[in-house]
Amino acid sequence: MEIARSEENIENIVNADKVDNADKVDNAEDIDNVESVENADNAEYPENTWNGEKRSGKGLLIAKIALTGLLAMGFVLVAVCLRNGESFSMFLVDMRTGFQDNVLFPQAFKNKLIVLAVVFLVSILIALLTQDFKWKLKFGKWEAVLCPQSPCFRWGLNLCLIVMAVSFAVLSVRFTHPTVRAAWAEWDGDSLIAHAGGGIEEQNYTNSKEAFLNSYESGLRTIEMDFVLTSDDKLVCCHDWGEQMCSDYEADYVYSEEEFLNIRIYDRYTPMSLKTLMELMLEYDDVWIVTDTKDMDAELVRKEFQIMVETAEQVGAPELLDRFVVQLYDYEMYDVVEEIYSFPSYVLTLYLLGGVDEDSFREHCRFLRNRDINSITMWQDWFRPEFKEIADTYGINIYVHTVNNADKVEEMQAWGVRGFYTDYVTPDMIP
């Protein structure tokens, strides 16, 4: 009996162990089944795999959307600026001043930027607040589901980002560098400019070789020269034909180039043609010439500056043109001259445009800033201290003419005038 009971107990223990083992097997199978179901769910719903990487993935998505939006808004700003003739430097000034002098310009891009901002803000909010949004696209038999985790969505967003970045970069290069200028040769703006070659022996407006050399020896390195056309369409250094310059010819006589070069101005001084002047510039290579051609007619302007270009080529030194500072007499002249040659330096002179007040002066400064020109000149009596603040806003240097008193130069320098056309004031006369 006892042996039979022992055998029965052993059999019960073995059966219990089998049951335990079977339960363990069932539990293991259940665990495997659960993992299989979770994997299947993850395969069907990729967003469920975000548990560990959800935040980093969503952050990258939002960053890409935001960057694409910023590039799109930048693209719109640059495109509107180019379309409306707003230069990069002018745009920076307007941004700094809150467009107070250009109140109509923001209307050109305001609505576009608002629409873009709303679109991209909505996109960011959807990405932030929704884990399960999908766009179903269907074209005929072709069908696709887009969601933030789908390859199509990510490739599309990356493509948009790249396209916007390249477009913005290309347009920005054109915006910030509208013209190629010889920036290294740009005139720095001396405080004194010898007027009409400079005075010599109490004689003004000679535009003579002696006046040029006297100004140079006196320390002036920027010399304004007058130019007129001769009867045979050459440029010579002369203020006008209205005054009798020598005893051999009457006033108002229009010389040929040969006749002009064979006289003595006021029976004493050596006349110069443009070619003669350029040959002097080769010898004195630190001299800048401010042009005073006086003509506003487009055809005459075109003829005069074409002659300048041709003359520089004749003397074998076209680079001399980069040492000319072109005086502009109206806005249209700039475009005419630029068709002939892109001079590095210009100055807008107001004496042919009439009087100037704060509003018109501000308009002139905006014109200059839009073309990266930084100098303006006027009669000394036209200057008002209020102009200085306007000029500083746009980065414009103010010049006045003609000042022949050193004390007056010091006084107007204290008011903020940058430089002076003068017949007789030399650098050693002012501190």
In angstroms, the CA 150 to CA 208 distance is: 80
Residue owning tokens 């310009």: 105
- The band of 13, judged by pLDDT with boundaries at 50, 70 and 90, is very low
Give the per-residue pLDDT at 24. Answer: 47
Confidence of residue 25 (pLDDT cuts 50, 70, 90): very low
- Cα dist from 193 to 212, 325, 425, whole Å: 11, 11, 9
Q: What percent of the chain is predicted at pLDDT more than 90?
A: 51
Higher pLDDT, 297 or 119: 297
| Between 24 and 292, residue with greater pLDDT | 292
Tokens of 91: 């745009």
* Residue 182 predicted with pLDDT over 50: no
Give the Cα separation of 77 and 62 in Å (integer).
Answer: 23
Q: Specify the amino acid at residue 187.
A: W
pLDDT computed for residue 257 by the predictor: 96
CA–CA gap between residue 137 and residue 152 (Å, rounded): 11
| Range in 1-10, 154-163, 214-223 the model is least confident about | 1-10
- For residue 58, what pLDDT is reported? 64
Exposure class string for 214-243: b at 16+ Cβ within 10 A, else e: bbbebebbbbbbbbbbbeeebbbbbbebee
**3 state DSSP class of 324:** strand
Q: Which residues contact 127 (CB under 8 A, 6 or more apart)?
A: 58, 61, 62, 65, 148
Per-residue pLDDT band for 37 (boundaries 50, 70, 90) equals very low
**pLDDT for the residue 117:** 76
| Closest C-alpha to 215, from 225, 226, 230 | 225
pLDDT of residue 39: 46
Q: Is the dihedral angle over the CA atoms 294, 297, 303, 308 positive or is it negative? A: positive
Task: Give the confidence band of 160 by pLDDT, cuts at 50, 70, 90.
Answer: confident
For residue 337, pLDDT beyond 60: yes
What is the overall mean pLDDT for the chain? 81
Q: What is the pLDDT of residue 52?
A: 44
- Is the pTM higher than 0.75? The answer reads no
**Mean per-residue pLDDT for 85-110?**
76
Report the pLDDT value the prediction gives residue 150, as an integer from 0 to 100: 64
- pLDDT at 152 (0 to 100): 63
Residue 244, pLDDT above cutoff 50: yes
Please report the pLDDT score of residue 288 as a whole number.
97
| pLDDT confidence of residue 303 | 97
Say what the pLDDT of residue 83 is.
75
